[in-house]
């Protein structure tokens, strides 16, 4: 097997050695955390003595950290270093509440770049590749995280940012881009632009690798992107509270995403009981930083739903693997007593060839009864066909959605480019029930 280890000393550790390293780094992190006003107060109120943490299993004796904690102690309550040691600040969007701030020392930035370089290297990116980074820069962590990892690896890096689709295509053509980083909804949007311009990326471009992340997406979306662009699509996972991208990444075998366990301790818990779940069972992902200097987080509840994949990976890494994110525990909605995640709807829609690249789910109350409306853009060809074809497609979508989610939705077919689009991450769910 070809060597895909960027850092063999860490990536190729045996399980026993990796866990020994984790424990050592965990104790260092707990000692460091006592410099944080938040953890100093939290541990004192729980009567926690670090000397009682004898092995990794004792991590469960420690309390969880939540996004609300980050908000309550905003902006500086989690710092474990003085402000003159900080070199970077990233802030979350705050779309679901007050923004949260994450701080970095120079060492934290270097560690982040190292983790990202590992991710890119193990998927086949090499010096000589041209990397076009089509995600936002600035306070959003995704752009800079990939940027520093790509430069550390030695890729020619184009910081094109998000949007300006025709310019993106021109850059790809002019500089023979081979590797891209792009959010899934924008990858789908860019497909429409290629089609409008009459361009075939498989003939016009030199792309071979695409990294998708920043928002949950289905396997069906991955397949669409792979087929259209002629690339290998790799799934990535990260969140701003844990640095950003580079927490977990697929290797060349694509049998789950390896969590870099020399930087993070991973748990999966039942989001209701908060008890740990065995490998293979879906629950909420909980992460502990063990290599962060400026702002460590202990047992942070991500709200992301996934599972730890049992068994070994053929790549030889023993770092645990998580499955693709199935949604967020706070994204779930209930219709007629049934729990539904938006990604279930996407899986069905993206498996139907006549469906376009955009959709949205609208929840309303009509005469005090919840209604689920799925608005779906379909291809031009559908509207050229007679009305019977349109009706057959509508019935097919209703039937397949009902089979998946056990609720009969109202399906509205829409012409291409008629549904509104948002800059950045796509908003798929609109819950208007509180508005009556």
- 38-56 pLDDT, tens digit per residue, is 999 999 999 999 999 999 9
| Structure confidence at residue 36 (pLDDT) | 98
**Phi, psi of 327, rounded to the nearest 5 degrees:** 140, -175
From CA 150, how far away is CA 164, in angstroms rounded? 22
- What's the pLDDT score for residue 1? 39
Q: Render pLDDT for 61-97 as a digit per residue (tens, 0 to 9).
A: 999 999 999 999 999 999 999 999 999 999 876 545 5
Beta strands in 216-282 (DSSP E): 232-239, 244-250, 257-259, 264-269
Range 333-435 has CATH code 3.40.50.620? no
Q: Give the pLDDT score at 401.
A: 94
Nearest in space to 372 (alpha carbons), one of 428, 294, 300: 428
Q: What residues contact 281, with CB distance under 8 A and at least 6 apart?
A: 268, 307
Q: Which of 98-102, 185-189, 229-233 comes out lowest in average pLDDT? A: 98-102
Fold of 1-329: Rossmann fold (3.40.50)
Assign 178 a pLDDT band (cuts: 50, 70, 90): very high
Q: Where in the chain is the domain with CATH 3.30.300.30?
A: 333-435
**pLDDT for res 327:** 82
CA dihedral 33, 37, 43, 45 (to 10 degrees): 180
Closest CA to 160 of 427, 224, 146: 146
**pLDDT above 60 for 245:** yes
Residue range(s) of every CATH 3.40.50.12780 domain in the chain: 1-329
State pLDDT tens for residues 52-62: 999 999 999 99
Mean pLDDT of 225-229: 97
Average pLDDT, the chain: 93
Q: Which pLDDT does position 281 carry in this prediction?
A: 97
Could you read off the pLDDT of 313-339 as tens digits, one per residue? 999 999 999 999 988 877 788 888 788
């Amino acid at each position: 097997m070809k060597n895909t280890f960027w850092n063999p000393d860490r990536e190729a550790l045996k399980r026993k050695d990796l866990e020994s390293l984790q424990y050592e780094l965990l104790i260092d992190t707990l000692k460091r955390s006592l410099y944080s006003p938040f953890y100093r107060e939290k541990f004192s109120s729980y009567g926690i003595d670090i000397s009682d943490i004898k092995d990794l299993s004792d991590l469960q004796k420690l309390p969880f950290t939540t996004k609300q904690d980050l908000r309550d102690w905003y902006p500086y309550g989690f710092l474990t270093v003085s402000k003159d040691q900080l070199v970077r600040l990233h802030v979350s969007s705050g779309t679901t509440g007050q923004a949260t701030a994450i701080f970095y020392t120079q060492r934290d930035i270097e560690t982040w770049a190292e983790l990202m370089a590992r991710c890119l290297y193990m998927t086949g990116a090499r010096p000589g590749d041209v990397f076009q980074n089509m995600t936002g820069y600035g306070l959003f962590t995704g752009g800079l995280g990939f940027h520093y990892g790509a430069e550390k690896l030695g890729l020619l890096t184009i910081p094109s940012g998000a949007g300006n689709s025709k310019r993106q295509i021109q850059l790809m053509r002019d500089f023979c881009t081979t590797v891209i980083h792009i959010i899934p909804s924008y990858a789908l949007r860019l497909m429409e632009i290629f089609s409008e311009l009459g361009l075939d990326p498989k003939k016009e471009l030199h792309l071979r690798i695409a990294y998708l992340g920043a928002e949950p997406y289905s396997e069906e979306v991955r397949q669409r992107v792979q087929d259209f662009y002629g690339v290998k699509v790799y799934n990535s996972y990260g969140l701003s509270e844990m640095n950003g991208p580079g927490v977990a990444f697929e290797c060349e075998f694509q049998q789950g995403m390896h969590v870099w366990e020399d930087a993070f301790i991973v748990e999966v818990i039942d989001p209701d009981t908060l008890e740990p779940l065995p490998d293979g069972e879906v629950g909420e992902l909980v992460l502990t930083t063990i290599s962060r200097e400026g702002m460590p987080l202990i047992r942070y509840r991500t709200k992301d739903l996934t599972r730890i994949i049992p068994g070994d990976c053929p790549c030889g890494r023993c770092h645990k693997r998580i499955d693709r994110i199935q949604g967020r525990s706070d994204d779930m909605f209930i219709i007629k007593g049934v729990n539904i995640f938006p990604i279930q709807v996407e899986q069905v829609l993206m498996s139907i060839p006549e469906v376009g690249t955009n959709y949205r789910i609208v929840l309303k109350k009509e005469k005090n009864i919840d209604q689920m409306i799925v608005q779906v853009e379909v291809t031009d060809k559908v509207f050229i066909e007679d009305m019977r074809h349109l009706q057959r497609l509508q019935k097919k979508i209703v039937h397949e959605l009902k089979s998946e989610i056990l609720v009969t939705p109202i399906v509205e077919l829409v012409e291409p480019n008629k549904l509104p689009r948002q800059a950045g991450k796509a908003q798929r769910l609109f819950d208007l029930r509180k508005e009556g």
